[in-house]
Amino acid sequence: MNPEKDNLLCGRYPKIFANRYGDMRTTAMCWGFECGDGWFDLLDSLCGTIQNHIDWSIKQKQSALQRQEIYNAAKAGYWEQFLDFYKGFDESFINQEKSKIHTLIEIPDEIPQVIASQVKEKFGGLCFYYEGGDTYIDGAVALAESLSYRICEACGSPGRPNNEGWISTRCEPCLQK
């Protein structure tokens, strides 16, 4: 991938590509993105999906912890904190929340940050190796890897893997080059 697109992905997703300039003894990301420019949009979409999912999980956990704190304050008789927290909500919603103060709020697990260890082409398809994540992210990566067999690695147009020599996924014009 050209340096401009490499820098763009690393700039947009610094947490995912934290090891981009890491030591070659610990990460293969030190060599950059070992694939063509045609997969830039695919990688950009994948990384956006991954980081949004992780950031959403962090917000969900923070929100649940905050609600649990407010419920605990109400149980201890500090209703002013509870009412201040729900200021601006209609009375029926506040009453619903009052009825929940004795229930235990499920605190969701935080999803471990995804850190890419290698991004490359292999046998005509994208390979995105990483640590962290959850099953949702595993599915997003699997989808992106499977879609790469339909996208020209050189230009991003619809393509297909060739059957001769070095296997690569190309559109007809790029295959002729």
- Structural domain includes residue 61: no
**131: confidence class by pLDDT, cuts 50, 70, 90:** very high
- 122 assigned to some structural domain: yes
Residue 79 lies in a domain: no
pLDDT band at 20 (very low <50, low <70, confident <90, very high): very high
Give domain status of residue 85, yes or no: no
Give the chain's domain count. Answer: 1
Residue 2 has pLDDT above 90, yes or no: yes
**Mean of per-residue pLDDT scores for the chain:** 95
Position 5 scores a pLDDT of 98
Q: Which domain holds residue 148?
A: 3-55+115-176
* Four-residue CA torsion sign, 63, 68, 69, 70: positive
Provide the percentage of residues in the chain whose pLDDT is more than 70.
100
The model's pLDDT over 25-44, given as tens digits with 9 standing for 90+, comes to 999 999 999 999 999 999 99
pLDDT at 176: 87
Window from 19-23, 24-28, 52-56, 164-168 with minimum mean pLDDT: 164-168
pTM score, two decimals? 0.89
Provide the pLDDT for residue 166: 87
pLDDT higher than threshold 90 for residue 165: no
Q: Is residue 68 part of a domain?
A: no
Exposure b/e, 87-97, CB count within 10 A at least 16 = b: eeeeeeebeeb
Residue 153, in any domain of the structure? yes
Q: How many residues can be counted in the chain? A: 177
Spatial separation of the C-alpha atoms in residues 73 and 136, rounded to whole Å: 35
DSSP SS3 for 177? coil
What is d(CA 153, CA 159) in angstroms, rounded to the nearest whole number?
8
Using pLDDT thresholds of 50, 70 and 90, give the confidence band for residue 123. very high
